[in-house]
Amino acid sequence: MNTKILTTDTSDISLAGEIIANGGLVAFPTETVYGLGANAFDEKAVKAIYTAKGRPSDNPLIVHIAKKDDIIPLVQELTEEAKILIEAFFPGPLTIILKKSSKINNVVSGGLDTVAVRMPQNKIARALINASGCPVAAPSANSSGLPSPTKAKYVIDDMMGKIDAIIDGGDSDFGVESTVLTLATDVPTILRPGSVTKEMIEAVIGKVEVAKAVLEGMQNDEVAQSPGMKYKHYAPQKAKLIMVNATKEQYESFVNQQKDAYALCFEDDNVTIPKITYGKEDDDISQAHQLFDALRIIDTTDAKKVYARIPSASGVGMAVYNRLIRAAAFNVIDLKKPFTIGLTGPSGAGKGYVCEIFKKLGFKIVDADLCARQIFDINKEILPQLQKEFGNDIIENGTLNRHLLADRAFATKEATQQLNAITHPAIIELCKQQAQGLCVLDAPQLFESGGNAHCYKTVAVVADEETRLNRIINRDGISENQARARFSAQLTNQQYIEKCDFVIFNNGEDLHSQIHNILEEIL
């Protein structure tokens, strides 16, 4: 098929209107993204949209109108809420879903008994609908699964030769698709966030809900409230996109250590690897404007792995977050936790060696045992609490008698628990103060102390008991009985393995490759 490229001149708009009236397909600009339009009442023309996009037939289309009243014949009933929303937001980037009238065929509605309607703000879009003389069914004008087009050139990339015409109307104003709000549920529910925010809608009709799938993705057995939720969307074709939940500093320090990776980040981020930006950190409108462009640019590079800086999910940011987390197929690295890795395991398993390797790989190591020894000097609130529990005489001339404290605190299990209850929170706090960038918390009592809650992933280093026994007898010059007593106060190999996300075996196995595999999986 020969696809005409049209301008926004009146004569071209009239021609495009005729094409639609005669059952053809025309891509056109709207204020959100480009749409791919056909006469909504012409089943055959609407079917051709699904074919051109490669879109699953159960994913319904939005019907676009040029005047507010044009919604009336399309729906069973215009509810009070619908009337208020139309007054407040039509024309604009809001789509409302209502029970459909008999005029809406099943091809447009994907077999549902509802219809999605929107009146675009873009004057070219409305002039085209007027010139067509019918409501225009239009999804975004991209091939199914790709980012929606925010420039005519992206429509050309996806649709050339597949449709009758493309109107080049310049860049889209908003850059993310319209907010989709269903009024066919008990409480109005946002099925897709957009530039008309939850707060803006609530200001006119009161409480609205946000479908769970908007921010969290769908469970396997969940029925999609909106069919579009369940399909793969926006992802780059060649590169793997991973979202990084991190502060600006954490993100920069993380990506700057990555080799062969790209950063998808904000303009002001200081990254030394190749970067593609999507707006400014504190400006969600600029992020929405540029995101799809940035996602398409990724595919023009040789990027294989792209780390995306997470946007804030409030206001228009909710739309940006929703599109980006889909583009990342819900792969998120969480570096907001102070520690990237919590490393634990029984005595003699070789945590020390493993820490050395992490250190060489650029991780900072925070040693919980060291913090435990320093805590009495640093945290002045602890000593009075210990005196209350273990006797005033544990402090002599202003200094702590560590031997006396140890005698009493390790005399019974209960006493040890009391000691831990007082010291563990302070130790973890001190460890957290030392955390920075990519960081390992080396903590034999990671789980007992609650330190695991501050780690992105946990890793156990384990080894056979005999191996460990020999190691600590030789290393610490203790007897076999003393060594066994130490073990009995700790978790077993199996308990460490069960509690941790990953395990490193150290009976002679290759530590480097095990660590490499773990990092490959989590970062």
Positions touching ligand TXA (CB under 6 A) are 30, 32-33, 35, 59-62, 95, 97, 109, 112, 114-116, 118, 138-140, 177-178, 180, 191-192, 226-228
Residue among 232 and 475 whose Cβ is closer to Mg ion: 232
Please report, for residues 374, 387, 391, 401, 402, the alpha-carbon distance to residue 396 in angstroms, rounded to integers and kept in the order given: 18, 11, 11, 7, 10
The residues, ordered by sequence, that sit 6+ positions from 390 with a Cβ below 8 Å of its Cβ are 405, 408, 409, 415, 418, 419
Whole-angstrom distance, CA of residue 194 vs CA of residue 176 = 6
Structure tokens at 467: 């191996």
97 binds, among ligand TXA, Mg ion, none (CB under 5 to 8 A by kind): ligand TXA
Q: Residue 62 Cβ, how far from ligand TXA at the closest point, in Å?
A: 5
Determine, following the binding rule CB under 5 A, whether residue 179 of this chain makes contact with Mg ion. Answer: no
Residue among 215 and 421 whose Cβ is closer to ligand TXA: 215
B/e letters for 231-256, b = 16+ CB within 10 Å, e = fewer, are eebbbbeebebbbbebeeebbbbbbe
Residue among 177 and 442 whose Cβ is closer to ligand TXA: 177
- Nearest Cα to 393, choosing from 382, 403, 404, 385? 404
- Specify the residue for token string 């634990």: 344
Q: Which residue stretches of 361-401 are H helix?
A: 368-378, 382-390
395 binds, among ligand TXA, Mg ion, none (CB under 5 to 8 A by kind): none
- Specify the residue for token string 């904000």: 266
116 binds, among ligand TXA, Mg ion, none (CB under 5 to 8 A by kind): ligand TXA
Query: 91 preceded by cis ω (within 30°)?
Result: yes
Please give the DSSP secondary-structure letter assigned to residue 58: T
Q: Residue 213 Cβ, how far from Mg ion at the closest point, in Å?
A: 15
Residue among 144 and 385 whose Cβ is closer to ligand TXA: 144
277 binds, among Mg ion, ligand TXA, none (CB under 5 to 8 A by kind): none
Structure tokens at 309: 């800086």
Residue among 191 and 439 whose Cβ is closer to ligand TXA: 191
Residue among 145 and 315 whose Cβ is closer to Mg ion: 145
Q: Residue 363 Cβ, how far from Mg ion at the closest point, in Å?
A: 41
- Nearest Cα to 346, choosing from 428, 447, 468? 468
Residue among 164 and 177 whose Cβ is closer to Mg ion: 177
Determine, following the binding rule CB under 5 A, whether residue 140 of this chain makes contact with Mg ion. Answer: yes
Q: Residue 96 Cβ, how far from ligand TXA at the closest point, in Å?
A: 10
Q: Residue 148 Cβ, how far from Mg ion at the closest point, in Å?
A: 5
Q: Residue 200 Cβ, how far from ligand TXA at the closest point, in Å?
A: 16
Please report, for residues 149, 153, 295, the alpha-carbon distance to residue 239 in angstroms, rounded to integers and kept in the order given: 19, 21, 10
The residues, ordered by sequence, that sit 6+ positions from 146 with a Cβ below 8 Å of its Cβ are 158, 234, 237, 296
Q: Which range binds Mg ion by CB under 5 A, 140-148, 313-321, 354-362, 420-428?
A: 140-148
112 binds, among ligand TXA, Mg ion, none (CB under 5 to 8 A by kind): ligand TXA
Residue among 109 and 140 whose Cβ is closer to Mg ion: 140
Q: Residue 282 Cβ, how far from ligand TXA at the closest point, in Å?
A: 25
Nearest residue to ligand TXA, by Cβ distance, number only = 228
How many binding residues for Mg ion (CB under 5 A)?
1
Rounded CA Rg of the chain: 30
Q: Where does this chain bind Mg ion (CB under 5 A)?
A: 140
